[in-house]
Structure 1
């Protein structure tokens, strides 16, 4: 399946983390192979989507160089990645009514697969469910997923009225397909959370062709 074979899908890059284990700041702006991680994320996911938005809180001007719409959480107190996903669903409903699907990925994953959106769509179609998430090895990556815009009010209720925070608890309510990627030669969902992770990302980047 190629991008021409699946429905128009908006991409959202989740960049709301505070990078506490790196001393603060925006993790997507840390560099790997001489470029901000955000550059790597955009390069890999943009060709798979009908537009990109960046979910981040605080002053959006710090991301101006990338020229993407920057959307803040629409739920108070920044309750985690589900709030960023909801913000993207809300943005799609308002600004891209032609789009029924949103694909999400963290802003600190420089090796995202180039077939991410296609395989997520394939899986949710095969399983006849409205959601799909990525796995690699024996690890689930619940914030790397495909989300149906029509579920946004249900998600808002779960976040605001129920105080739900765990992604997998909400996805389980609606039906979710899991898609597995190999971890060789590199786990495509490797994320740079610490200074040591950045060093490992540099090593991995140097080992990959191109």
Structure 2
């Protein structure tokens, strides 16, 4: 399923920022706090995500206190999956948080990688249109490339995702479409890719040029 149009503004959608990457290719720095455009990278993501969702949380490993300045809940990986520390475990934590504590009536969970600070302002709006058409997960795509960790998940998928992680060993986010009804939300990659991912010092320098 491919979604190319727009829809009504986002409704009751919770948000999750994936901030668990270890930044090995950037010298093992704490990537969410990398300087970008005069701010910390995660601040750009919080700003863009906060304009598209209701309650917002951060999924991160390590000392949660370092995120305290942002005033958002910080979610550890779910019990029994602490050693996994991958994006799907973080997404599961977000689904369970939204269902139990953040917004029990939420229709969906929007997921934003912390190292993708240029994602479009209408991403949640367009992804919701895909869910309304019958998809369970709507994933971003740009320039013909899928970005499975930038996605909007229908509420109520937590139990199934937990079973896939625990019982079937699902680990790769790019295999989500094998287990859920998935849609692509396509964006052009010109004049620049809105899902440009910052993984290296060179990427960070390129992102800085975009801000300028």
With normalisation by structure 1, the TM-score equals: 0.92
> Partner of 1:178 in structure 2?
184
> Partner of 1:102 in structure 2?
109
- Structure with the higher helix share, 1 or 2: 1
Instruction: Name the Cα RMSD after superposition.
Output: 1.3
**1:50-100: CA deviations, max 9, x gaps?**
121000011100011111100011123134110010000010111121113
What secondary structure, in the 3-state scheme, does the structure 2 residue paired with 1:150 have?
Answer: coil
Q: CA deviation at 1:169?
A: 2.2
**1:10-64: CA deviations, max 9, x gaps?**
1100000000011113211101111111111111111110121000011100011
What secondary structure, in the 3-state scheme, does the structure 1 residue paired with 2:111 have?
Answer: strand
> Partner of 1:43 in structure 2?
47
> Partner of 1:150 in structure 2?
156
- Asked whether the equivalents of residues 158 and 170 of structure 1 are also in contact (C-alpha less than 8 Å), the reply is no
**1:132-187: CA deviations, max 9, x gaps?**
10000021100110112211111001111111112232333221110111112221
- Asked whether the equivalents of residues 136 and 181 of structure 2 are also in contact (C-alpha less than 8 Å), the reply is yes
Kindly indicate whether residue 14 of structure 2 is the aligned counterpart of residue 10 of structure 1. yes
Distance in 1 between the 2:186 and 2:117 partners? 18
What secondary structure, in the 3-state scheme, does the structure 2 residue paired with 1:48 have?
Answer: coil
- Among 31, 34, 50, the alignment partner of 1:30 is 34
> Partner of 1:62 in structure 2?
66
Alignment length, in residue pairs? 203
Alignment of 1:81-160 (within 5 A): 81-95=87-101, 96-126=103-133, 128-160=134-166
With normalisation by structure 2, the TM-score equals: 0.91
Kindly indicate whether residue 75 of structure 2 is the aligned counterpart of residue 71 of structure 1. yes
